[in-house]
Amino acid sequence: MFQPLFKENRLHKTDLIAPVFVDETIAARKPILSMPGQSRIPPGTVGEVAETLWDCGLSAMVLFGIPAHKDARGSGAFAQDGVIQKAVQTIKRAVPDMAVITDVCACEYTDHGHCGIIGDTPCGPDLLNDPSLDLMAKIAVSHAESGADMVAPSCMLDGMVAAIRNTLDGAGYEALPIMSYSTKYASALYGPFREAADSGYAFGDRSTYQLDPANAREGVRESVLDAEEGADVLMVKPAGFYLDIITSVASIGLPVAAFQVSGEYAMIKAAGGNGWLDERQVVMESLTGIKRAGADIIITYFAEDVAGWLDEEQ
């Protein structure tokens, strides 16, 4: 009977951010096969999707875009009439109070699938850090101009937060917060996302700019650097395998978001769908564990389900 009184951590709907994939190339919802229950949505329905999330009590979403055209420089990512730019405007018209967060990266927009500009290096073709910084800054400003409430750069470039902060400030967006994917591991758990966001890469991998899963100190240092560059929210990604990192990053002192990624979702869905695990209980346990580790905010594909379950618990 006293158990609720002593409960140290609780999930709230206001902790959750729902990811949404907006696909410019489709006219109807398209299920993501490796993420049962998730779909890409056509641009025409983003307003309704936002209304549905809002009606469930969710107040934040993060947008990923799939453009009609890709090129080597990812120019669709900063186009004024790009898929994300239009989606942000539509959502802010439909649900003005929804916190609209945009993923700032180029991998969905480049024909090679990497997160920025590719060029020749002494070690072969690879992501070029500094030319890619200008691209990220341009993308962030275009999202700000469309009305985004927060930008979330996810490319793990060196100097990414400082470049975006400077450019946003110069464009008059001093107050626009940056949620940096500051501690992002080169994880196999992003597999289903490649299908979801059509961002598989043509060559190489992302281990030259994402972190080695074996490294804890390096992971924390990456978040410290982003905090120094002006990040407003830090992020650890993936979440469930990296709880120790969440705890360490929380001690930096900024709000911490954890991204329960596509592969974490897929694993739970697969076991749940087969009757091998109780999906609802495992989802709540996984998210409670992520909060207990120290996350303030959780990005999760289960957001809408959890909102419903929290209502039932009351």
Question: Catalytic positions, please?
Answer: 184, 237
* Interface segment toward Zn ion; rule CB under 5 A; list 22-30, 100-108, 168-176, 282-290: 100-108
Tokens of 5: 């009184």
What does DSSP say about strands 150-153 and 183-184: parallel, antiparallel, or unpaired? unpaired
CB of 187 to Zn ion, least distance (A): 13
One symbol per residue from 176 to 205: x for binding ligand PBG (CB under 6 A), - otherwise; what is it?
--------------x--x------------
Q: Is 275 left (phi over 0), alpha (psi -120 to 50) or beta?
A: left
Per CB under 6 A, 206 contacts ligand PBG: yes
* Of positions 105, 234, 235, 258, contacts ligand PBG by CB under 6 A: 105
Which phi and psi (to 5°) does residue 264 adopt? -65, -40
- Judged by beta carbon, residue 94 or residue 128, the one nearer ligand PBG is 128
Q: Which of the 8 DSSP states describes residue 206? A: S
* Of positions 115, 135, 140, 290, contacts Zn ion by CB under 5 A: 115
Residue 220's nearest CA partner among 246, 257, 191, 197 is: 246
CB of 57 to Zn ion, least distance (A): 30
Per CB under 5 A, 118 contacts Zn ion: no
On the 0-12 / 13-18 / 19+ scale of CB atoms within 10 A, 5 is exposed
Residue 46's nearest CA partner among 85, 8, 77 is: 85
Per CB under 6 A, 154 contacts ligand PBG: yes
Per CB under 6 A, 109 contacts ligand PBG: no
Tell me which residues touch ligand PBG (CB under 6 A).
Answer: 103, 105, 107, 115, 154-155, 190, 193, 206, 261-262
